[in-house]
């Protein structure tokens, strides 16, 4: 009896709310992982709370204790992924990378961005499509504009001899090349994915290399202009 009362007292003690909170956070993480899987396999429109609950191995009633509907799940998952994406590109676009030769600069910038998308395929699902909750698409549009601005800043510092208006065009073109290459990368796996990563870096290297300050003799930024 004393041991039982001691256990009851411990359960009612100050640690109990924290244990409940930890269990709740673990359940939310479980549901969000399941939602990411369902969104990837079915798309946002085709996903349902029942499918997410089934993927998580819980009842729909358990899911509704934490999320009122599919949109709320998508918004929470999208918010987490956008936060991680900010951290990822923040680490990719750093001033210290300006000291690197172009091939290593591309590795330093592109590798974490590509890895994030490959590890979080639900990010692409939740940031594209007319049916996606508006709050996610608005945040993504803001993030897109910020990334483009950071790309322009990085290229401007890396290519100080190139006029600002051309840097803007180069940044825009580089950004589009990256997005197009990323679509191909995401549609393949294994060795074929690695091959497409290498192809994307080759394309971007050959596009940018004639512009860098250590360009081979006789090649200048002006000589790379096309009619």
Q: CB of 121 within 8 A of CB of 43?
A: no
Q: What pLDDT band is residue 10 in, cutting at 50, 70 and 90?
A: very low
What pLDDT score was predicted for residue 20? 63
Work out whether the CA dihedral 61, 26, 37, 81 comes out positive or negative: positive
> What is the pLDDT of the chain when averaged over all its residues?
87
d(CA 83, CA 125): 16
Q: Taking residues 81-103, what's their average pLDDT?
A: 93
d(CA 118, CA 131): 23
Tokens representing 36 are: 């990411």
What pLDDT score was predicted for residue 128? 81
Q: What pLDDT band is residue 122 in, cutting at 50, 70 and 90?
A: very high
Q: Taking residues 51-61, what's their average pLDDT?
A: 97
What pLDDT score was predicted for residue 6? 46
What is the chain's alpha carbon radius of gyration, rounded to the nearest angstrom? 24
Closest CA to 205 of 218, 214, 192: 214
What pLDDT score was predicted for residue 13? 52
Other CB atoms closer than 10 Å to residue 171's CB: what's the count? 20
pLDDT tens digits for range 133-186: 888 888 888 988 999 999 999 999 999 999 999 999 999 999 999 999 999 999
Q: CB of 40 within 8 A of CB of 122?
A: yes
What pLDDT score was predicted for residue 15? 62
- On the question of pLDDT at 206 being above 60, the answer is yes
pLDDT tens digits for range 16-36: 566 668 788 999 999 999 999
Q: What pLDDT band is residue 192 in, cutting at 50, 70 and 90?
A: very high
Cα 192 to the center of its chain, rounded Å: 21
CA distances from 182 to 113, 199, 200, 214 (A): 9, 11, 8, 28
């Amino acid at each position: 009896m004393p041991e039982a009362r001691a256990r009851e007292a411990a359960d009612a003690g100050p640690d109990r709310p924290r244990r409940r909170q930890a269990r709740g956070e673990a359940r939310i993480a479980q549901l969000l992982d399941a939602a990411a899987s369902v969104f990837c396999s079915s798309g946002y429109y085709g996903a349902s709370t029942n499918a997410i609950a089934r993927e998580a191995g819980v009842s729909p009633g358990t899911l509704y204790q934490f999320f009122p509907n599919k949109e709320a799940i998508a918004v929470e998952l999208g918010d987490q992924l956008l936060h991680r994406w900010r951290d990822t590109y923040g680490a990719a676009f750093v001033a210290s990378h300006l000291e690197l030769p172009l091939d290593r600069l591309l590795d330093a910038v592109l590798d974490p961005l590509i890895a994030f998308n490959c590890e979080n395929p639900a990010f692409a699902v939740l940031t594209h499509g007319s049916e996606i909750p508006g709050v996610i698409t608005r945040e993504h549009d803001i993030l897109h504009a910020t990334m483009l601005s950071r790309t322009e800043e990085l290229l401007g510092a890396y290519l100080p001899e190139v006029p600002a208006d051309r840097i803007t065009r180069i940044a825009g073109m580089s950004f589009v090349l990256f997005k197009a290459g990323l679509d191909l990368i995401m549609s393949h796996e294994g060795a074929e994915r690695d091959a497409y990563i290498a192809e994307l870096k080759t394309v971007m290297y050959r596009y940018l290399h004639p512009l860098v300050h250590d360009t081979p003799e006789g090649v200048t930024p002006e000589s790379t202009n096309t009619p």
